[in-house]
A = this chain, B = another copy of it.
């Protein structure tokens, strides 16, 4: 079984300091959390941007600032920028993080309900964003909230817009879309082509149980305050505590933790492209 890649979804668009005081909002807070999580065993960081008021933004300058600080304190980690829609629906604005040339960016290949909204990723938008991935050579992480999104990604691959082997992240347990059960996780992991890689992002109470299941199944794990604010014992989570918990569980079952270079190999990331983003953030 491959070593375990631990991803941290640090901030997201929804969490606030009021919900959990440990949510990193500023570039400085985000970078410090990256450093602590990397020390604990995480290698891949899913990054959003917030404005001066802590609200989600697609302002590319904010993304650059986050990346700049992360690269200073943790130059070895893999940065994955978000292309999510809660921060804005403008197609170009959503694509801009990809154009910064991070090693990875998230890509939700379909639409579904989330609390209070339709998370809209129309067939036309998906096609557009896939074209940006193609032009930039950035590796997408396919965010799968529902089964059909797998097939939509395979369709883009078949059309030559994105390249396999694909990496999927199954986002399970968000109200409005696929629930966070072991059955659902196993089902999705069996619905992707062999040779693909996958991780799971369990939402809220589903986070640690599904992470645990992925450790056993040979998948990878995403944790973080974007997805879940509370530890299983009811106390407030922090990003490093979540990573530490995953590491302890992995050790108990004998699964080793991947370092940054091992993660790049597992994910088919070209190490030579590791720092392309530096040219874009000056």
- Chain A contact residue count (CB 8 A cutoff): 52
Residue A271 is within 8 A (CB to CB) of chain B in the complex = no
Cα separation A175 to B118 with both chains bound (whole Å):
19
Q: Among B121, B155, B182, which residue has its beta carbon within 8 angstroms of that of A213? A: B182
Stoichiometry (number of copies): 4
Q: Are A252 and B253 in contact (CB under 8 A)?
A: no
Minimum CB distance partner of A245 in chain B: B252
Residues of chain B within 8 A (CB-CB) of A184 are 147
Q: Among B120, B122, B146, B212, which residue has its beta carbon within 8 angstroms of that of A177? A: B146
List CB contacts (< 8 Å) of A132-165 with chain B.
145-148, 151-152, 155
Stretch in A12-20, A75-83, A105-113 touching the partner: A105-113
Residue A278 is within 8 A (CB to CB) of chain B in the complex = no
Minimum CB distance partner of A211 in chain B: B253
Q: Are A182 and B176 in contact (CB under 8 A)?
A: no
Residues of chain B within 8 A (CB-CB) of A231 are 254
Given contacts A146-B147, A151-B179, A182-B186, whether A123 and B115 have CB atoms under 8 Å apart is yes
Q: Are A147 and B178 in contact (CB under 8 A)?
A: yes
Residue A279 is within 8 A (CB to CB) of chain B in the complex = no
Q: Are A123 and B117 in contact (CB under 8 A)?
A: yes
Q: Are B147 and A179 in contact (CB under 8 A)?
A: yes
Other A-B contacts than A113-B148, A151-B178, A182-B186, 20 sampled, CB-CB below 8 A, are: A110-B177, A112-B148, A113-B122, A116-B123, A118-B120, A118-B121, A146-B146, A146-B148, A146-B178, A147-B147, A148-B177, A148-B179, A182-B213, A190-B190, A208-B253, A212-B216, A231-B254, A232-B252, A233-B254, A249-B253
Sampled A-B contacts (5; CB under 8 Å): A113-B152, A147-B177, A208-B253, A210-B216, A245-B252
> Closest 7 A-B residue pairs measured CB to CB?
A232-B254, A148-B177, A146-B146, A209-B216, A111-B118, A147-B178, A148-B178
A residues whose Cβ falls under 8 Å from a Cβ of B: 110-113, 115-124, 126, 145-148, 151-152, 155, 175-179, 182-184, 186-187, 190-191, 194, 208-210, 212-213, 215-217, 231-233, 245, 248-249, 252-254
